[in-house]
Amino acid sequence: MEIAIPEILWEFYDIPSKNWLVTKAGSGHINETYIAAGNQQSWVVQKLNHRVFTQPEAIEQNIRLCQTYLQEKDPNYLFLAPILNKKGCYTTKIANSYWRIFPFISEGIAFDTLSDPKQAYEAAKKFGELSRLLAGVPLAQFKETIPAFHDLNLRFKQFEQALTEAPKERKEAAAEAIAMALANREIVDIFGKLKKTLPLRIQHHDTKISNVLLHKKSFAGVCVIDLDTLMPGYFLSDLGDMVRTYLCAYDENETDLAKITIREDYFKALMSGYLSKMADILTAEEKTQLLFAGKFMLYMQALRFLSDYLQGSIYYPIFYPEQNLLRSLNQFQLLQSIVEKEKNLEQIIHECLT
C-alpha cells in the first residue's frame, strides 16, 4: 500500500521538509495515522476522516478550550494536542483533506489488547485523571464533534431502521445477533431514564486501550491520545468503553466466541485505577451505575456493528463480508459474560469504592 503525506503539508509548519520514513500506525476505524520518522525528530501525522468528522472546527474549538483550562489548572499535565501550524491552527486543509501533526512520544506505546492487569489500572487511571481535571470546565462553549455519538436511543432507532430496510438474506444471516439485540432492549430504557438525572461531563468518548499511551517497559500511564471526540457526555461513555476494551484477552475482531469472557482481575484493576481519580468526583447515583456503564457500551457497540452489517458495511472498514456481523456477536458475547459474572463484579466495585 502506498503511503503518501502531501509534501506541501510541511510548508504549513515550522518543520523542515525532508525525506521522512513514513509508516502506517494505529488500529483505529476512522482516521488515517502515520509516523514520519527522522534521525533526530519524529512526528505523528494524521488525516482526519472528514466524512465522520464533518465539522473540524468543532474539534479544534473543544481541544483549545480543554488545553487552555488544563494549562491553568495543571500546567504539568501532558495534554497531547496537535501542534499549531503557521496560521495558529491545529488543522491544515489541503485540497479536500484535513491534516494534523502531533509530537511523537517515543517512550509511549498504544496497545490493542492487554496482557497485564497493571496496564488496565494505568490506562483507567489516565482517563480518570483527564475526567477529574476537566470536572470544572464550563460546558457552554463546547460543541458535539459527532452529534448524538453515544445516544443509545438514537442507535437503537438506527438499528430498527437498518433491520426494516435490510435484504432478507442479511437478516437471515444475522438472526442470532438480531435476537440478542432485541433480548437486551431494556438497556435502552435504563439509559433513557439515566439521561434525565446524570450530570454532563467532558468525556473522551473513545477510551479504548489504543487511545492511551503507556510506558513501553513499566506500563505507567503516559498520556491520553485521540481527542477528536472530547465533548460533553455522561461518565457511562468513558468508563463503559474501558470495560469494553480492557477486560477480554481478545479484541472485537476475534471470531472464536468461546474465547470472549471477562477477566475479573483486569476488571478490578480497571475499577481501582479509574476510581483512584474519580471516586470523590462521581455522584452517588453515578456510583450505582458503574457496572451498567459496561453493559451500555457493549450493547451500543454491538448494535452499531450489527446495524452496519445490515446496511452493507458502509461505516466500519472490513476485510471480509461477515466481519461486522461477527464483531457484533463478539460484543454481545462479552455483554453476556458481564451478566453471568454480575454478582462478583458488583462485589469488586464495592471493594474499590470502600
Q: Do 237 and 344 belong together in one domain?
A: yes
CATH number for position 20: 3.30.200.20
Tell me which of 104, 137, 172 is where a domain ends.
Answer: 104
In a domain, 110, yes or no: no
Same domain, 135 and 23: no
User: Torsions phi, psi of 116, nearest 5?
Assistant: -150, 130
Which grid cell sits at 307?
Answer: 446495524
* pLDDT tens digits along 116-132: 999 999 999 999 999 99
Side-chain-side CA neighbours of 30 within 13 Å: the count stands at 14
Q: Are residues 135 and 52 in the same domain?
A: no
Domain boundary among 44, 72, 104: 104
Residue 112 is assigned to a structural domain of this protein: no
Lowest mean pLDDT among 35-44, 235-244, 322-331, 335-344: 35-44
pLDDT-based confidence at residue 100 (cuts at 50, 70, 90): very high
pLDDT tens by residue, 196-214 = 999 999 999 999 999 999 9
pLDDT of residue 50: 82
- Global pTM reads 0.92
The answer, yes or no, to whether residue 27 has pLDDT greater than 90, is: no
Give me the pLDDT at residue 1, please.
Answer: 46
Q: Are 297 and 208 in contact (CB under 8 A)?
A: no
Give the count of domains, the chain.
2
Percentage of the residues of the chain whose pLDDT score is greater than 70: 98
Give residue-wise pLDDT tens across range 1-24: 456 788 899 999 988 777 788 888
pLDDT, tens digit (0-9, with 9 covering 90-100), for 136-194: 999 999 999 999 999 999 999 999 999 999 999 999 999 999 999 999 999 999 999 99
Of 104, 132, 149, the position where a domain reaches its end is 104
**Average pLDDT of 295-314?**
97
Which among 36, 294, 343 has a CA at the least distance from the CA of 184?
294
Q: Which structural domain range is residue 18 located in?
A: 7-104
Choice between 288 and 56, residue whose per-residue pLDDT is larger: 288
Contacts for 194 with CB less than 8 Å, ≥ 6 apart? 234, 236, 289, 292
Residue 167 sits in the same domain as residue 293: yes
d(CA 102, CA 105): 9
| Domain co-membership, 91 together with 50 | yes
CA distance 128 to 193: 24
Using an 8 Å Cβ cutoff, are 139 and 200 in contact?
yes
> What is residue 20's predicted lDDT score, i.e. its pLDDT?
84
* pLDDT number for residue 28: 59
Q: Could you tell me the CATH number of the domain that includes residue 255?
A: 3.90.1200.10
One domain for residues 178 and 318: yes
109 in a structural domain: no
Whether residue 25 is found in the same domain as residue 57: yes
Q: List pLDDT tens digits, range 253-285.
A: 999 999 999 999 999 999 999 999 999 999 999
pLDDT for 245 equals 92
Residue 103 vs residues 52, 82, 298: alpha-carbon distances, Å = 24, 7, 32
Asked if 26 and 12 touch (Cβ cutoff 8 Å), the reply is no
Would residue 135 count as lying in a domain?
yes
Residues 88 and 154 in one domain: no
Residue 26 pLDDT? 66
**Is 11 within the bounds of a domain?**
yes
